[in-house]
Structure 1
């Protein structure tokens, strides 16, 4: 592999890096000036209402920026108690990183928001709170804002697993589709799908039919999605489509027949995850030409499953990370094309060794669950837009098993194959090392976005 950067390029990168550090240090010095104004009570003594208002007048900044500066100064700068005693910053690790110039404004905003959320977690030990702040500050020195947000979400999922209660099973009550036909015949529409599972099914379907038609397809994503929606409508109007079946006077003898014992679709209301609904054979024949529903995976932690059996169920998780109310989970688990995944015992045979190069469905679901999408730090591509990458290449005798696989989007898959970034599985999680021109120390960066506490 040839050296991609010469001496001149490396010197330019180093000057840019040092310049950004200097700017961030100056930004922290600015916060210290705000903290000093606040400690001296300058606003009150000058007759102004607050330090925020004083900054708006003297520095000629906007309301939002003035409030941000005062809030960051309160969290990151040394405080003075009522008796005049010097107190450390409320977020000491973040303050140290900001003073060193290794993190920026966006990092600080994410950490402050996350710690404010943890302030509201009932019964959280002080030591745990402090460790969380230290962890986020450390992650911020390695990751961009997007990657730090993923790390913060992961931390919140662990320390506050209940989180905000997901919507009830009647979330669809606010569903709407507004359609306006214009004089030129074109149609404008805007809508909302409240049920997260319905939303997941919608996205799965639209994405499935809106991929590029080939390497020469230059359509933008929004155009491909519009064309895909038209394809779905055209399919619905086909001889056995749902729109054709719903027309007045249309009958389907297969649907009037009584189901036999083999195709009984009765739902046991007392079952946690009911037996999947099996379609009637005649219905399968009549609708053989229609595309199947998008495959959805709903994840339920084994501990939550146990609590649900005792009447204390929490929620399930979709591939997108959306939380699903237990009632919604029960309803959708009746569908034969929904895969309920119960976490806990590792009884599913995931390792397929050297028998095949491509991943099995079971292995792919495990990768989706572990990585949550593209595992590269900061990337937010969903699992359905990712490829399974062999860490040790299959052609180099790398096995097709979960500890040698990682989910990557197309861009980051190509980036890994260039060879400057490396990835390894450490303690069951993807860990990436950048090239030395990004980080001279090549410190590892934790990847993946697991959505359940571990």
Structure 2
């Protein structure tokens, strides 16, 4: 920085002095700091970084005012001016600009705490967001003032994550007499926003999988998480000796994301079609079309038709597994594509048979699996459906989604043990 740039302004002198001080220690190795000095330096540098950032935000805020440098240089905002000249990216610059505006115009105590070194920038972002989220048209000014003062005091004790939790209930502390009503109104507003933002899209990837992206209200997400974690809870697995979190053939541990995905598939396939809305004049059904020869030989594939003209190719093994489900109808075609057999739900295992099977076994028949039998799929244990398997109770075996897929996977062998467990192993 040139002598001319230092000029008379205190901010310019401060910048020049900091630049000179940093240059003086540029090549100094911090490893030789004595232990006590090392501790002090690390804490103090962190505190000074917050003070420096507060000064930077004051300068950013000034750049956006009438006659400020952003206007003088034809920039849309201080953030766009800063991003183009410092290469920090617009997002980071805009975040600093918004915080600068907030502490300058609305939350002066937050700015003072930053300037005094009593607060870090990350804490300031948390506090400002919490205060801005309060309904200013419904909360009295003195309540907002008390809320800011209380959160600034908490920042001297709590790190950002804990501070965020405390800030979410700030009205309960500073305005307990109004909290219940204000909280009700806030929750109703949040629910309306969440309902309006609810979305779900399904995009086929072209590789046999589809990406499902959803935004749902927190209450719905919590219910979904609870249902899926019933399948995947590590604590439950550890306490019961469960090994269902591993590949039964290789023993490799499955990632939590994979387990949650498998649990989601199981949840969808456990839905009772009879309880769904009418679809095309009947209970919701999925039809799988497959040639008789492909079904017998295991070669080729079937076609899964859902609604409209959408069709999805599926393997023969998957056809055989899905054919075990009520509400999934197999349509078997002959050599001239004539329908030889249109499966009906009544040919499949009945609810009464499933209830009887639940009395015999409480969990999936897969060796070591503790998935509750009530969540499992009905499987023909002797002869597969494609080979004329019966629907007798003695032929009913309950398998979770994971093990049912293994039962119909030709790359795995199936061994039934004397205790009724089913052991799967990858063919070598």
TM-score (norm 1): 0.43
Structure showing greater Rg: 2
Greater fraction of residues in helix? 2
Instruction: Using structure 2 for the length normalisation, give the TM-score.
Output: 0.45
State the structure with bigger RCO (CA 8 A, min sep 6), 1 or 2. 1
